[in-house]
Structure 1
Amino acid sequence: MIELALIGIGTGNPDHLTAQAVQAINGADLILLPRKGSTKSDLVDLRRAICEQVLTRPVRIVEFDMPVRETGGDYARAVDDWHNAIAAAWRAEITMHLPVGGRLAMLVWGDPSLYDSTLRIAEKLKVGGVAMQVRVVPGITSIQLLTAAHAIPLNPLAGAVTITTGRILRAHGWPAGADTIVVMLDSGCAFEVLESVGITIWWGAYLGMAHEALEQGALADAGPRIAVRRAELRVRHGWIMDVYLMRREQNNGA
């Protein structure tokens, strides 16, 4: 039996770990850290730094190469194939390092329940015959870090929030009936497809990290600034993690 702990670690700042997360990391027999290529080497370095800071006992830490998702073609099929490849990589590491079972920990950016597929990949292992008990340790999300960094409420007064992705926003535009939206997993600047009048944006990249970057303002003014800054940061660091909230003008005092 594999006891898998999926541990939310926020954006990699050890100060954002919960006490429960620290306990789960120390309770592991094995911690698997994915490598995502040389341009994103500091992501695995951040995970290693977290382990070094919070571990109070020896725990085996193993890195593995993360499969790369194919681009183009059918998106859903490409993602499913990618998840199958990741599950196969997990299975190989489990077979090698926990052949008789044990406690496995995976450090998940943000929270495992929010636009993260680790839970789905774990389910593929269970369906594939791996005896596994999954435990989720919640973490701070990029949305929480974004609203905290800008000192703003997530929702308008008595209003709702729609959480979506850059791909969906680019394909379908502003969600019908929404006053406030949060956009995650935006590989570009999907807000550029919108009519900017009456929209305010709050944007953040590398939230909680030393090189955190923030922008806010009317979309017509802040949008071009964000596009330029985002491109510069991506070149400088080789990768970027960002999220943004947009709100339309309200007539109810929100």
Structure 2
Amino acid sequence: MSALDRVLLGAALAASPATHRAARREQWTADVRDARELDLSPTALAFGALTTALFHRRAPHRSSWGDSMTTLPTPVRAAPHTIRTIPVLIALAVLSFVVAAGVLALLQRYNGLPEARPVFDLVGVGMAVVPGLAVATSLLLASGVPRRRRGLGVIATLAVAAVWWAVTDGTLHVPGYGSLQVGLVAAGFLAAWLVTLRRPLWTLSLLVLPLVATVVVTPLANAVIAVGLSYSVMTLVWWAGQLVPFLVAVVAGVVASRFSTDAPVVVEPHGEALVDKSV
């Protein structure tokens, strides 16, 4: 168990109700410790424990990790512990973008002032760095994917985030493709996601959706701006339009997961617990 796993478990136990803490400590420690024997990611399980503690504090039942699996074979999706963690990270990415866009709109009255430059730089962090790290972390936590493949996916995601940061910061311009920049970046994030998680080949056709969203939304945003709004409102409208291709990419990723042709995992009955806690 790594130091990060211990920190995550400690935070999960601290956030758990006192009545469940002892049982969860025993279960979660054993599950994270023996995760690799079951071909699972210990860090992903630790993150799953943390999200369970944060969002299910009032649940009347405790976690069943490590219990005996004596029920009939039941089809379940692979990596159930990522169902809560990854959506939280993606929601964090979207929220960071929205907050950064709102801050940028409020800063328009101070545009051009040297004192405001550091704050403008932080806006780029909220729009590009935080979302990029959130998506990269989601890929890092994916189970059933070789570590090397996840690492390459993280590198590709961070590279796309770096390009997007340069675009939002104004240091990078793509001549001739200005209106498609956002769509290309969103498609880049989606491509890294689909390839890393080994989605079916047909899902690559979904990469065109962020580009289509950009082509549709950009003229609409320009039309609204042309009405003659204040700079703050125009900025907010513009960046709200820039958010749409990213939301389309998120939906495309969900569609690719839901309609994957991979067969579901079947849990076979076992006569004894998969994790021996008597040691």
> TM above 0.5, one fold?
no
Which structure: greater helix fraction? 2
Superposition TM-score tier, normalisation by shorter sequence: under 0.3
Given the two structures, how large is their TM-score scaled by the length of structure 2?
Answer: 0.25
Which structure: greater strand fraction? 1
Given the two structures, how large is their TM-score scaled by the length of structure 1?
Answer: 0.27
